[in-house]
Structure 1
Amino acid sequence: MKSAGITQWNDSYPSKEIIWQDIIKKELRLYGDHYEASVTVSKHERTIFIQRLVVHSQHQRSGIARFILTDIIRQEKVNSEVDQLKISTNHSNIPVQKLLTSLNFIPCRKYLIPNREQFGDFIEFIYPLRIFK
């Protein structure tokens, strides 16, 4: 990401402690025969949060990220307890923004993350699964 000019992560985020918590909470999903990609998926109330989607650099642009997001969408469409999916990315991560919009995620707000303001705006995308009343 750094070599591509994407200023979303650094040497301290995500930390080993954060990843360890993802594992303990059973929210980390691994993809590929040799763990070429991973993502954290958590639920809060009626929303699924997708975080820390990462694909090994040797496998980027191979469709793995699209597969992962499509897989999550497919799984959650049948979950009547979930109304929407949310995922955020940095303003500099144009490839992920394009991927999300191609999958019909809708950009809904920009915000700064506390203690990570140096990265600039993050953009939150939603994927509605149910019509809100």
Structure 2
Amino acid sequence: MEIRKSRMEDIEKIMCVIHEAQESMRANGIPQWQDGYPNEEVISQDIKTGNSYVLVENENVIGTAYVVAGHEPNYDYIEDGKWLNDYPYVVVHRIAISKDYKGKDCARQLMAFAESVAGMHHLHDIRIDTHHQNLPMRKFLSKLGYHACGTIYLKNGDKRIVYQKLF
């Protein structure tokens, strides 16, 4: 398996992985990503900015994530908690793994890659958010050493629980 920058020709395969994640969340009663987000336009923009990555095995896209060293405006206001620090950070968004590769350490590989991106930028802080009802993701993040820091609101008003890891 390898992680590389996404290319425009990957969009269809990335969307397949995202659709599988959406279906899995729907089947588990998680309302996250049930409103058509993320769509091809969002993924295309991620690719254009150079912050979209895919996990590939034998030329098959089996995972995807948006990873960027930069500021996330939605993280400026936090309720019911606080960030562990105010240092620059790496943000991970839109992480998804193909249903055939769930439980095979693929998401952990993408999160380890995010840590390597942080290292390349001399940062030691990663932030990520998920829906409060996305218990599998919350458990996964806690297992990796991420700390639940509070609640943020997306531009559309949706609530998310935010996690942070210092390393």
Q: TM-score, normalised by structure 1?
A: 0.84
The 2-side partners of 1:44 and 1:72 are apart by 12
Q: Distance in 1 between matches of 2:36 and 2:160?
A: 18
Q: 2:39 aligns with which of 15, 29, 33?
A: 15
TM-score (norm 2): 0.68
Q: Which amino acid in 2 is paired with 1:28?
A: S
Match of 1:71 in 2: 113
Structure 1 residue 78: deviation in Å? 5.6
Task: Report the AA paired with residue 31 of structure 2.
Answer: T
Q: 1:36 aligns with which of 17, 40, 62?
A: 62
Pairing of 1:91-102 with structure 2 (within 5 A): 91-102=132-143
Q: Where do 4+ consecutive residues of structure 1 move more than 6 Å?
A: none
Residues 1:62 and 1:116: Cα distance change in structure 2 (over 3 Å)? farther
- The structure richer in helix per residue is 2
CA positional deviation for 1:5? 1.5
Aligned-residue offset at 1:75: 4.4
Contact 2:89–2:127, Cα closer than 8 Å, also in 1: yes
Q: Take 2:53 and 2:46, find their aligned partners in 1: how far apart are those partners? A: 9
Q: How many residues matched?
A: 125
Matched to 2:26, the amino acid is K
Unaligned runs of 5+ in 2: 1-24, 72-87
Alignment partners' CA distance in 1, 2:154 and 2:117: 29
Q: Percent identity, aligned pairs only? A: 22
Determine if the alignment matches structure 1 residue 52 to structure 2 residue 120.
no
